[in-house]
Amino acid sequence: LSWAEAVGLRAIFFDPKNIDVYRLMVDVYRDKDEPQNAMVVYERICSLQPTDVLNYLLYARSAADAGHIEKAEAVLKYAIALA
- Residue 13 clears pLDDT 90, i.e. is over it: yes
Rg (CA), the chain: 13
Identity of the amino acid at 75: V
Q: What distance in Å separates the CA atoms of residue 53 and residue 79, rounded to the nearest whole number?
A: 5
Q: What's the confidence (pLDDT) of residue 45?
A: 98
Segment 52-71 shows an average pLDDT of: 97
pTM of the model: 0.91
Count CA atoms within 13 Å of residue 6 on its CB side.
3
Q: How far is CA 42 from the centre of its chain?
A: 2
CA distance 32 to 55: 20
Is residue 69 predicted with pLDDT exceeding 90? Answer: yes
Residue 31 has pLDDT above 90, yes or no: yes
